[in-house]
Amino acid sequence: MSIVDGLVYLGTSHFGYGQDAATALAGMDAIGTDAAVAVPVHPHRGEFRAANDALAAAAAGAEGRLIPLCRVDPWEGDDAVAELRRAVAGGARGLFLHPSEEHFRINDVRLVRPIVECAAELSVPVMVAAGFHLFAEPLQLGAAAAWTPQNPFVLTNGGQFNISGLSGFDAELALANANVQVQTSAMYREDFLEGVVTKFGPERLLFATASPLFTMRYERLRVDMAHFGEAERELILGGNSARIFGAVSA
């Protein structure tokens, strides 16, 4: 079984966090991760083209262990769509959107829909930093996923940081879209992760650490300690990311 981390961030962020490829790979080695889906952090001065190129170079030097996604800022309009096309032509395996850090609502039809539809046209999945108040809440995420119902729409943070009260129900509303998958990163309730598998199937849950925002070893324990069958665990730890992002075979 190959282990694929569904999300690591690379680069130095405008917001003060980051890591380089060597650090990410060392962390992966320490917990037995074979490959990781990598995205750029929010770059200084918003230079997304340079950030995407730096990530592509890091992936090229990682012997297949880093699977790059393109990050764009929807406020750039047609230039964001053009950057997605350029990056995918250069080897990016998908699109990453961060509504909170780029300050847009994920369900903004005018701003975001053209980019999401371009990803579907290019047959690459969309990953969204999810759960942020006003920018990427479950019902907003579900609306955006419905624009391209045949294209994978992957949500970080289980789709919702706050899995308490009706917020957990909101996350399930996003999962009502058959193309939506959620990641395990930051999900503090084991019963929520188990419930995703029970209610929607193991194909809908992806192991991810979101390193360096969260600790790789600790995030791995979320899957290891949950009550999953062996076949379910294999899908969650690697098979689903391999299928969606074209990562190493699980």
CB neighbour list of residue 193: distance below 8 Å, 6 or more residues apart: 158, 184, 187, 205, 222, 223, 226
pLDDT at 250: 38
Q: And the tokens for 206?
A: 């992806």
pLDDT at 39: 98
For 44-71, write each residue's pLDDT tens digit. 888 999 999 999 999 999 999 999 999 9
Looking at the predicted structure, is the pLDDT value of residue 10 above 80? yes
Q: How confident is the model at residue 167 (pLDDT cuts 50, 70, 90)?
A: low
Best CA proximity match to 48, nearest among 83, 9, 24, 82: 83
Looking at the predicted structure, is the pLDDT value of residue 16 above 80? yes
3-state helix/strand/coil string of 129-171: CCCCCCCCCHHHHHHHHCCCCCCCEEECHHHCCCCCCHHHHHH
Q: For 26, what's the count of Cα atoms within 13 Å in the CB-facing half-sphere?
A: 6
Best CA proximity match to 115, nearest among 134, 128, 103, 132: 128
For 106-119, write each residue's pLDDT tens digit. 999 999 999 999 99
pLDDT at 249: 41
Q: How confident is the model at residue 32 (pLDDT cuts 50, 70, 90)?
A: very high
Question: What average pLDDT is seen over the chain?
Answer: 94
> Is 4-245 a domain of CATH 3.75.10.10?
no
CB neighbour list of residue 96: distance below 8 Å, 6 or more residues apart: 39, 40, 69, 70, 71, 126, 127, 128, 129
Cα three-residue angle 68-250-92, rounded to 5 degrees: 15
Q: And the tokens for 245?
A: 């992002």
